[in-house]
Structure 1
Amino acid sequence: MDFNFTTKEQKKAVDQSMLLCCKFFISESRNIATLDAIERAARLNPEAVLVNKFPDRAYNRVRYTLVSYVLHDCTGNAIYSPLQQTVVAMAEVAFNAINLELHDGAHPRLGTVDDIVFHPLARASLDEAAWLAKAVAADIGNRFSVPVFLYAAAHPTGKELDTIRRELGYYRPNFMGNQWGGWTMPESLSQLPDEGPITVSRAKGITMIGARPWVTLYNIPIMSTDVSAARRIARKVSARGGGLPKVQTLGLVHGEDSTEIACMLLERNQIGADTVQNRVEMLAAQEGLDVEKGYFTDFSPEMILEKYKNLVSVKRP
């Protein structure tokens, strides 16, 4: 479906409409030519705005953050967002340029395009984010023959990301004891994906696509190479390990001389970064380890919304 906006009034109406945010994670951070090609695809449609990029060389992983509007029909159903074509175009470049069999890094992953999650911004709803997640999943599954698993609001029963990942073996290192490399799992899946084939291309892997309220990503460096200690701390901090509610964690190697606790804060207004930081520092002290101040890997939704508006105003004088 093609939408053309010709008048200032139409463009202004779009600017003030409901917005969706996409976080797009790929399994690559070291090949600059590949990243440049993906970013060119991200900028093909000026109506979809790339507001942030976060690469991590140790993890060999990049997250792109994009924002655009969503349009509705006369009954209020979502029917179009520039993000759909943009995200699929980025995925196409990634699938063509990245071979998962040749990839290795210190962060778990299941696919070349590992995770795509949509969040509502401003006046948008979770239903609209879920609609876009399912539309993108159908495109990626069918066009690129990649198994796609939906999660959270995009899943028929709301199944969460960490549950599906655990079932698929995401959290088990398969390379050098604490790294992830290549594809070492069966090529025929034991469970049916939501979109795409049941067989896995070893070069492309699996893609997870979901929709959920905002997730804050916050990483805390541990000044130790003892990944077992980092994992013990991570488990005690997480809700799954009896720690902080609505907090998910991973203890990972990060570079040659440190580890870190990678945290997903599912309810930032309930359990924020300061609370997590304090709990990690307390547990690390019990292990005799020093902790550095953590860092956010993306802007807050308020800052992303502001950056989007600023970038759009520059593009449309």
Structure 2
Amino acid sequence: MAKLVECIPNFSEGRDQAVIDALVKEAKSVSGVTLLDYSSDASHNRSVFTLVGDPDGIAEVAFRLCKLASEKIDMTKHSGEHPRMGATDVIPFVPVKDISAEECVEISKKVAERIYNELKIPSFLYEDSARRESRRNLAAVRKGQFEGMPEKLQQEEWAPDFGERKIHPTAGITAIGARMPLVAFNINLSTSDINIANAIAKTIRASSGGFKYCKAIGVMLEDRNVAQVSMNMVNYEGTPLYRVFEVVRAEAARWGVHIIGSEVIGLTPAKALVDCAEYYLKIENFDYAKQVLENHLLG
């Protein structure tokens, strides 16, 4: 059976369509790789691509996209609501079919080494690729962002895994690693008060004592004048989407606001959404493997 790997690179550009189009063209240029989806957000000033392919093709396209981003994106001129530290901010590799997490870890190391050797962009290894527990969490790795990273790299415990203790002057530094599938899930509130979104994010995120598998921040969608709770659900089975949705709803009510909508960024495993349908429809004795038509057709 053919091995399949998913790669979801995040780029610090969500406004310049010419740059986004160039990245899309590059993403489609490698044999054995398919661009499944991409989305851009002007407020976050960020684009997220979802690609799938064989291990060699995925490693190649990840490098090419990082190279192009370093040529097109100048982090000294970048601003946006989403935390970021590099032109290519993060490159995760996810096992999809007939490939192990350990093999994805090796791909991440290979790509990180090549990116530094050829582009002089340093990187941190994170999640399953992390060489120490303190680097598993992307939020901890990215803390300080692009502007604070030169000083951070001088701290004894924050030498890059690949590269010297200095960022690329315009492309910054990149987080690279293997991980399980996550869901990028955002909830929009009926308020323009970012403090409310920040307070709710603090309540639900794991680092503040909230849900174990939830990472959350408050961001402001300037184009809509809407405050948003922006989340990465790193284990949608351990912490399902409907659970955080209900807590966000309850916390928002305390502030006299309500949820006006939610969004999923990029692709998501079907089960993450089916679990929500099962919960809200109160379906009894539902069997995801046997009762979803597509599972039979694709199985």
Q: Give TM-score, length-normalised by structure 2.
A: 0.84
Instruction: Indicate conservation of the 8 Å contact 1:121/1:301, yes or no.
Output: no
* Unaligned runs of at least 5 residues, structure 1: 1-15, 71-80, 171-181, 304-317
- 2:37 is aligned, of 52, 70, 88, to 52
Aligned to 1:290: 258
Match in the other structure for 1:186 = 150
Distance in 1 separating the partners of 2:138 and 2:30: 32
Q: Separation in 2 of the partners of 1:164 and 1:188?
A: 11
Instruction: Name the % identity.
Output: 27
* Aligned with residue 243 of structure 1, among 186, 189, 210: 210
SS in structure 2 opposite 1:186?
Answer: helix
Q: Do the aligned partners of 1:277 and 1:293 also contact (CA within 8 Å) in 2?
A: no
The Cα of 1:216 is off from its aligned counterpart by 1.2
Q: Post-superposition shift, 1:219? A: 0.4
Give the aligned residue type for 1:18.
K
- Measured at CA, do residues 184 and 194 of structure 1 come closer, stay the same or move farther in structure 2, by a change above 3 Å? closer
TM-score in terms of structure 1 length: 0.79
Contact 2:138 2:175 survives alignment (8 Å): no
1:271 aligns with 2:246: no
Q: What residue is the counterpart of 2:109 in the other structure?
A: 134
SS at match of 1:104: coil
| Partner SS for 2:91 | strand
Aligned residues: 266
2:117 and 2:269 map into 1 onto residues whose CA distance is: 31
Matches within 5 A, 1:1-317: 16-70=1-55, 81-158=56-133, 159-162=135-138, 164-165=140-141, 168-170=143-145, 183=147, 185-186=149-150, 189-190=153-154, 191-256=158-223, 257-301=225-269
Q: What is the letter of the counterpart of residue 118 of structure 1?
A: F
Offset, 1:165: 2.5
AA partner of residue 250 (structure 2)? M
What is the deviation of 1:86?
A: 1.1
Cα deviation code 1:192-222 (max 9, x no counterpart):
1001221123311111111111111100001
Contact (CA 8 Å) 2:185, 2:231: kept in 1 or not? yes
The CA deviation string for residues 264-297 of structure 1, in whole angstroms up to 9 with x for no partner, is 1122112211111111010010011121232111
The separation in 2 between residues aligned to 1:247 and 1:54, in whole angstroms, is: 21
User: Gapped runs of 5+ residues in structure 2?
Assistant: 272-299
Matches of 1:300 and 1:201, distance apart in 2? 32
**Equivalent position of 1:9 in the other structure:** none
Q: C-alpha distance in 1, partners of 2:153/2:95?
A: 31
Q: Distance in 2 between matches of 1:251 and 1:289?
A: 15
8 A contact 1:188–1:199 mirrored in 2 = no
Residue equivalent to 2:284: none
Q: 1:234, 1:163 → 2: CA distance?
A: 13
Superposition misfits of 4+ residues, deviation over 6 angstroms:
none
